[in-house]
Structure 1
Amino acid sequence: MTDPEEAFLLQSIEKQTLFVCKRETVIEGFDASTSRFGAGIRENSLKTPPGIHRIGEKIGAGAPLGRIFKDREDTGIDWDGVSSEDNLILTRILRLEGLEEGINRGAGVDSFERFIYIHGTSREDFV
């Protein structure tokens, strides 16, 4: 990270909380579930990567609340609000860029290349 004023993200898997930080200060925390496979850095592991991240890409600008996304594409369909067996990806996608070489950035561990992202869900009851 080159700009000390830039916000960054830290995920506490233990607390299931995503922290927005600036410098060494937590600005805000949000409930956020993580992978059911636990923490891990390897590509194709389906695990939540550790370390410091920033938002590398925003997907869904202008989409209405509850819009369903599939493969990071707007389907044009809005969720009806009824719980579903599927864990739908809703409203916005914030694709994460790892900031720590060898942990969440670089060959085989890169969070951005792994398509790690924060997104809305139809299963808020599990968050």
Structure 2
Amino acid sequence: MEHASLKIDGSPAKVLLDPLALPLWNEAFLSIDGPQTPEVGVRYELRVRPGLNGWLEYTEITPSRIEMTWHVPGFRERGLWLLEDGLVTHSFEHAGPLAAVLRSAYRGIAAVRLERLQQRLLVVP
């Protein structure tokens, strides 16, 4: 499991709960299609680099915890975002044969995602 924490000002939940804008700050995602307002259990059509199609689903949404899962052939990620007094902790775990091949490419990515989330908050007031 990969994880990192970062003190982030603003409302990270606002960005995390804008599913159609996830590709604007998560470079793995090329496009997401589905409802603007996320609901637990609703699947979004997802296209990721290098052009694989799959789905993304929020599995938990609370004021202090946002969990989502995404899946493309051979790869599944379960990601968790903990929001506590300005400290955001992101962790994720991967499964599948493609995940095994890409394991080294995902080292340090939790910290990168937190930095991109912070940068996105500068654009979205």
Tell me if both proteins adopt one fold, taking TM over 0.5 as the criterion.
Answer: no
Structure ranking higher in helix proportion: 2
Larger Rg: 1
> Per chain length, whose mean CA-contact separation is higher, i.e. which structure has more relative contact order (CA < 8 Å, sep 6+)?
2
Shorter-chain TM-score tier:
under 0.3
TM-score (normalizing by structure 2)? 0.26
TM-score by length of 1: 0.26
